Amino acid sequence: TARRDDIVEDDYFVWWGMEDKYLFEYAKEELTEISQKDQPFAFTMLTVDTHHIGGYICRLCNHDHAESYSNAIACSSRQVAAFVQWLQQQPFYENTTVIISGDHCSMDKGYFDRNVEAGYQRRVYNCFINAAAKPTYSTRRQFCALDMFPTTLAAMGCTVEGDRLGLGVNLFSSQPTLMERMGYSRFNTELAKRSEFYDQFYSGQ
């Protein structure tokens, strides 16, 4: 679709297919178009320039750091910040929730072994901007990706009955998550067990 919409050339292919600098411009075009329709909209995008080992260095990257991955991270941070600033200037922003969320810690473990002090606990970055809900308490919570489902809906202004959906808990509420109730070890053990309901549901039988 990026080729079809003239975002990139027909023979273009780098990294995972398209670097983030084109993704952000593509996103601006798409958001401008869908925001002008008289209906609610949701837009999701995945950045990948920092995803794999060493990251991807594009033409926007500076070379301020000794390691390539440091430069890729710094470049990605600047691009994300600029995109959020662009969103905040758009007429639809006042009624739009922006969520920045990582799906896992960086895969480049060696980079962190070299550059971060021993004992530092790495975490996934999550950020809710312009959310319609306020957190009951927002520090020292234990949660996982399952909790992002009801939390996202609450951030958009939806009422979540009981503050729970599926296996997730609305993190704006005071409800404890499964991880908080069970502890990480037991939670992980239980989640790894086979579920006939899950298998039947997703097999469609």
In the numeric block, the tokens 């067990």 are attached to 193
Position 148 scores a pLDDT of 95
Q: Quick: pLDDT tens for 178-189.
A: 999 999 999 999
205 pLDDT exceeds 90? no
Compute the distance between CA of residue 189 and CA of residue 156 in angstroms, rounded to an integer. Answer: 32
Position 201 scores a pLDDT of 85
In the numeric block, the tokens 């600029």 are attached to 82
CB atoms within 10 A of CB 49: 23
Cβ atoms of 51 and 65 closer than 8 Å: no
Q: Quick: pLDDT tens for 144-159.
A: 999 999 999 999 999 9
User: Which helix or strand (DSSP H or E) is residue 154 part of?
Assistant: helix 148-155
Q: Quick: pLDDT tens for 34-65.
A: 999 999 999 999 999 998 888 999 999 999 99
- Read off the DSSP letter of residue 99: E
Position 184 scores a pLDDT of 92
138 pLDDT exceeds 80? no
Position 18 scores a pLDDT of 87
5 pLDDT exceeds 90? no
CA 162 remoteness from chain centre: 25
**Residue in 129, 136, 139 with CA at minimum distance from that of residue 100:** 129
Phi, psi (deg, nearest 5) at residue 77? -60, -45
What single-letter amino acid sits at 139? T
The mean pLDDT of 95-112, rounded to a whole number, is 92
Position 109 scores a pLDDT of 87
Cβ atoms of 180 and 142 closer than 8 Å: yes
Of the listed ranges 14-28, 87-101, 172-186, the least confidently predicted one is 14-28
Compute the distance between CA of residue 199 and CA of residue 205 in angstroms, rounded to an integer. Answer: 9
Question: What's the burial of 178, exposed, middle or buried (CB within 10 Å: 0-12/13-18/19+)?
Answer: buried
∠ Cα 148 153 156 (to 5°):
120
> Which residues fall within 8 angstroms of residue 175, CB to CB, at 6 or more apart?
162, 163, 164, 169
92 pLDDT exceeds 90? yes
